[in-house]
Chain A
Amino acid sequence: MAGKKEEANIKAYSQNFTTMTPGPFAKKMRTCVIFQIIRFIIINLKMLVVVSKSH
């Protein structure tokens, strides 16, 4: 089977045929500790902005 396994869940003309699906790099980055530490800081800063606008 030559296909990519992360695309295997898509079924032609089923309800999930029109969505996007992450590739191996995108999935790897989700749990890459160094990248996620950076995202942790950025997400927290973004959340703090929204929290400050809401009080």
Chain B
Amino acid sequence: MARLVVLGGGVSGHTAATFAAKWLGSAHEVVVVTPNAKWNWIPSNIWVGVGQMSKEEVTFDLAPVYAKAGITYKQAKALSLNPEGNATSNKPFVTIEFTAPGKEGTTENIEYDYIINATGPKLNFGATPGLGEGSNLGEHTVSVCTADHAVHASHELEKCIQKMKKGERQKFLIGTGHGMCTCQGAAFEYIFNIEHELNRAGVRDMADIKWISNESFLGDFGVGGLHMKTMGYAVSSKIFAESLFTERGVDWIIGAHVNKVESGKAHYELLDGTMGEEEFNFSMLIPPFAGVGLKAFDKTGEDITTTVFAPNGFMKVDANYAAGAYENWKASDWPKTYQNPTYSNMFACGIAFAPPHPISKPMSSPNGTPINPTPPRTGMPSGIIGKAVAHSICDKILKGENAPLHEASMANMGAACVASAGKGLFNGTAAAMTIYPVVPDFDKYPGTGRDTDYTFGEIGLAGHWIKHILHHLFIWKAKLKAGWTLIPE
């Protein structure tokens, strides 16, 4: 009997664990270690953050789902890996610390045959003074990164709406809270959902809404932008993004590294080296992501964290980490199997794997401050990678150690993305997009780096319907209800 341990129960980890449990059956054990008691469909946190959904609508309890799937569930966080075992045993193990009520702080070593690191990100609010401490949100801004954050954000938004109704003008500042952030898409959705809600509340004319982000151009989204075929033209996402911002009366600051936040004010540095500050009454700034801080030790107890993990804390996999300058980047730099190069029974998926380099071109200010989006690894790619990794490990367990690994390179994979611009059955809109491949391949597709036959986007009510249906569809799938395997990642 083999044991697979999955660290993390987000989109990628949950996908990997549930498919592995299905494919392995009761002859083998799947263990999920996640500090959270609830699963959260994060894309819908945007709607929680504007009061259009409740926390309960975007979360559900993990324990009954894992019990149904025959998965051993440990509500705990992983602390360290011992991929060679220790002085008394050659069996690899992971040390975890429980977070479940009544067991907080107690630790356990779990031996494993295979392990998947799907721990997701540490929300690194502490990287920007005033944005927060460590992984905790500060007092000056709000967040939609977790369902609880989004509930708090919706309460703060409501306070602003009430002030506007009393004639008090309010300034909104939405975007990224550091020069090395990813997830611009979430901030994009939030700013337009706020604008939509202010219209609904009849106070839009009392609001000044501004975007601030580390993108070098609007519509970069951390993927270097994309060209979509429209009316016979291949049109840059920059044009579409600028058009939407203009139409909705939203100003923008781009190429910005927010370097300090204080009450009602954000300080930033731009790509041209100039410094600025922006006042706000309400601000949602996405924090940068880092690895969760897992340590690794060899058999003698020596710290091998730098062997297993990249400096940003994400796990090294089969990527080319020596690509160097942007001009040398190739689509083939991106990992295919997500297997750790040192320990073949360790894999990483979702945000937890260390990308070889950004997708957007790296840039820095004349002061040497790096200001560029880091690569997104969420949503559809995250689920596909989780499933591929689970497939590889199940094949190794069921067919033998030499079974070929499954591949899911982001340079050979497309993604469908629906970005809400306002919720409403008949007046909602969303930008529905596909991108193929996620990582541009300029050798295969000279010019744009992508196949414009499969890269498109449009905004409208249909996109909103799709996003709403996907909300229910993916929660259905995550709860392992009838036909869940038929719903693609």
- Interface set of A (CB-CB < 8 Å, partner B): 6, 9-10, 15-16, 18-22, 27, 29-33, 36-37, 39-40, 43-44, 46-47, 49-51, 53-55
In the assembled complex, how far is the CB of residue B43 from the closest CB belonging to chain A, in whole angstroms? 15
Known: A19-B239, A47-B416, A55-B384. A33 touches B461 (CB 8 A): yes
Task: Report the Cα distance A50→B454, complex, angstroms.
Answer: 6
- Listed A/B pairs (24) with beta-carbon separation below 8 Å: A9-B249, A15-B252, A16-B242, A19-B242, A19-B246, A20-B239, A21-B246, A21-B247, A29-B460, A30-B461, A31-B460, A33-B426, A36-B461, A39-B460, A47-B416, A47-B432, A47-B466, A50-B414, A50-B416, A50-B434, A50-B436, A53-B414, A54-B412, A55-B384
Which residues of chain A have C-beta atoms less than 8 A from B427's C-beta?
Answer: 31
Q: Are B466 and A40 in contact (CB under 8 A)?
A: yes
Residues of A within 8 A of B413 (CB): 54
Cβ of B321 < 8 Å from any Cβ of A? Answer: no
Interface residue from B247, B380, B465 paired with A36 (Cβ < 8 Å) = B465
Least CB separation from A18: chain B residue? B242
Q: How far is the CA of A10 from the CA of B242 in the complex (A)?
A: 11
Which residues on the B side are within 8 Å of A16 (C-beta)?
242, 245-246
Partner of B458, one of A18, A37, A43, A49: A43
> What's the nearest-Cβ distance from chain A to residue B363, in Å?
18
Chain A binding surface, main DSSP class? helix
Contact A51/B488 with A9-B249, A16-B242 known, Cβ cut-off 8 Å:
yes
Top-4 shortest CB links A-B: A19-B242, A40-B462, A50-B414, A39-B462
Q: Which residues of chain B have a CB within 8 Å of any CB of chain A?
A: 239, 242-243, 245-247, 249, 251-252, 380, 384, 412-416, 426-427, 429, 432, 434, 436, 454, 456, 458-463, 465-466, 488-489
Give bound CA distance, A20 to B231, whole Å.
Answer: 14
Number of residue pairs A-B, CB distance < 8 angstroms: 85
- Give the nearest-CB partner of A43 in chain B: B432
Instruction: Give A30 to B245 CA distance when docked, in angstroms.
Output: 16
- Beyond A9-B247, A54-B384, 4 extra complex contacts between A and B, CB < 8 Å: A16-B242, A39-B462, A40-B466, A43-B463
Task: State A6–B242 Cα separation when bound (angstroms).
Answer: 14
Q: Find B462's partner among A6, A10, A21, A36 (CB 8 Å cutoff).
A: A36
User: A43 vs B463: C-alpha distance in the bound complex, in angstroms?
Assistant: 8
A22 and B380 alpha carbons, distance in the complex (Å): 30
Report yes or no: A20 in contact with B243, Cβ–Cβ below 8 A.
Answer: yes
Given A33-B461, A36-B461, A37-B462, A19 and B243 contact (CB-CB distance below 8 Å):
yes
CB-defined contacts of B251 to chain A, threshold 8 Å: 15
CA distance A21 to B247 in the complex (A): 6
Cβ A31 vs Cβ B426 within 8 A: yes
> A43–B466 contact, CB under 8 A?
yes
| Distance of A3 from chain B, by nearest CB (Å) | 15
CB-contact partner of A6 in B245, B247, B412, B434, under 8 A: B247
Which chain A residues border B460 with CB–CB below 8 Å?
29-31, 36, 39
Q: B432 contacts which chain A residues (CB < 8 A)? A: 43, 47
- How close is B284's CB to chain A, nearest CB, in angstroms? 22
Can you name the residue of chain B whose Cβ is closest to the Cβ of A30? B460
Say how far B68's CB is from chain A's closest CB, in angstroms.
25
Which residues of chain B come closer than 8 Å to A44, judged between CB atoms? 466
Interchain CA distance A47-B429 in the complex, whole Å: 17
Whole-angstrom CA separation of A21 from B466 in the bound complex: 24
Q: Is the CB of A21 within 8 A of B456?
A: no
Which of chain B's residues have a CB closer than 8 A to the CB of A54?
Answer: 380, 384, 412-415, 436
A49 in contact with B462 (CB, 8 Å): no
Q: How far is the CA of A9 from the CA of B246 in the complex (A)?
A: 6
Residue from the list B252, B458, B462, B488 in contact with A55, Cβ < 8 A: B488
A11 to chain B, nearest CB (A): 9
Contact check, B243 vs A22: say whether CB atoms are below 8 A apart: yes
Q: Which residues of B contact A27 (CB under 8 A)?
A: 247
**A49 vs B455: C-alpha distance when bound (angstroms):** 11
Which residues on A sit within 8 Å (CB–CB) of B459? 30
A54 to chain B, nearest CB (A): 4
Name the CB-closest residue of A to B436.
A50
Is A53 a contact of B246 with CB atoms below 8 Å? no
Instruction: For the complex, give the distance between the alpha carbons of A32 and B245 in Å.
Output: 21
Interfacial chain A residues near B252, Cβ < 8 Å: 15
